[in-house]
Amino acid sequence: MKFGLLVSEGPYTHQASDTAYQFAVAALARGHELQRVFFYHDGVYNATRLTEPPQDDRHIVNRWSALNAEHKVDLVVCVAAALRRGIKDEVLAPGFRISGLGQLVDSGIKADRLVTFGD
Amino acid sequence: MKKFMFVNRKAPFGTIYALESLEVVLIAATFDQDVSLAFIDDGVYELVKGQNSKAIGIKNHSPTYRALDGYDVEKLFVERESMAARGLSEADLLVPVEVLSSAEMAALMAEQDVVLSF
């Protein structure tokens, strides 16, 4: 099956991003396709390379970047949500790209299932 | 063409969800899909007439609901139980809507291809 994911909450405060990541890994392991992961609302904070969690904690941002490096998963950050929260190209972690909300609607059209991880 | 339903569950102010939901709706309307909006729980407050947010210094985005018509987004559904629980009636709302029971709303949601909840 072809999945699109929507992540609507920021990392660490909320579990949404962790759950989305676990879902993504499990779906790929089962041979499903991940069409795109779209980051909206505070979800855009998943994309900043300035993130530095304590050594003994999971690195949520790098984990997404690795998913892109290993599986070419399209990681898209909403431009309007990003700009109003100070997320720009110059702070993007590897593997992320900034684009419009049309990419979320496109996911809804092209994916068999669009799954939301949020509040 | 797919059926997209945007479910609005939050009050217009307090969090950004209502505003950012509206932003997705406006984009989705340009994709030539079957777009509808549902208002449940505190989401029914998003459509209340006469909102004035000046005192909190946050832009009042509610006039945009009136512009949805111009984007060919005409299907706005409001849950009767959510309105009743908040002492609201259709006369309090700023746009024409179709009022549905929660059972009818559930049936409508089941027909959708994509449900995005904000």
CATH of the domain at B112: 3.40.1260.10
Domain span at B100 = 3-117
- The pLDDT tens digits of the residues spanning A26-73 come to 999 999 999 999 999 999 999 999 999 999 999 999 999 999 999 999
Contact B27/A6, CB-based, under 8 Å?
no
Q: Which domain holds residue A33?
A: 2-117
- Residue A42 CA to residue B43 CA, distance in Å, equals 19
Q: What distance lies between CA B28 and its chain's CA centroid?
A: 14
A38 and A65 in contact (C-beta within 8 Å)?
Answer: no
Task: With a cut of 90, say whether residue A119 has pLDDT above it.
Answer: no
> Mean of the per-residue pLDDT values for chain B?
97
Mutate to test the interface with B, among A9, A79, A101, A105 (most CBs of B within 10 A): A105
Number of domains in chain B: 1
A44–B contact, CB cutoff 8 A: no
Size of interface A-B (CB pairs under 8 A): 41
Q: CA–CA separation, B18 vs A115, rounded Å?
A: 19
Average pLDDT over residues A74-83: 98
Asked whether the beta carbons of B88 and B43 are under 8 A apart, the reply is no
Distance CA B60, CA B13 (A): 9
The answer to whether the Cβ–Cβ distance between B31 and A105 falls below 8 Å is yes
CATH number for A58? 3.40.1260.10
Local structure of B109: helix, strand or coil: helix
Q: What is the pLDDT along chain B (118 residues), one digit of tens a residue?
A: 999 999 999 999 999 999 999 999 999 999 999 999 999 999 999 999 999 999 999 999 999 999 999 999 999 999 999 999 999 999 999 999 999 999 999 999 999 999 999 9
Q: Report pLDDT for A88.
A: 98
Q: Is A80 on the interface with B (CB under 8 A)?
A: yes
pLDDT in tens, B59-82: 999 999 999 999 999 999 999 999
Q: What three-state secondary structure class fits B45?
A: helix
pLDDT band at residue A83 under the 50/70/90 scheme: very high
Residues 6+ apart with CB under 8 A from B102: B40, B79, B80, B81
B22, B24, B25, B41: best mutation site toward chain A, by most A Cβ within 10 Å? B24
Q: Which two tokens stand for residue B19?
A: 């505003």
Which residues have C-beta within 8 Å of that of residue B62, sequence separation ≥ 6? B12, B46, B47, B48, B51, B94
Cross-chain CB nearest to A40 (options B20, B30, B113):
B20
Rounded to two decimals, the ipTM of the complex is 0.93
Give the count of domains, chain A. Answer: 1
pTM (global) more than 0.90:
yes
**Chain A residues with CB-CB distance to B31 below 8 A:** 102, 105-106, 109
Q: Which positions of A are catalytic?
A: 78
Tokens linked to B71: 């984007």
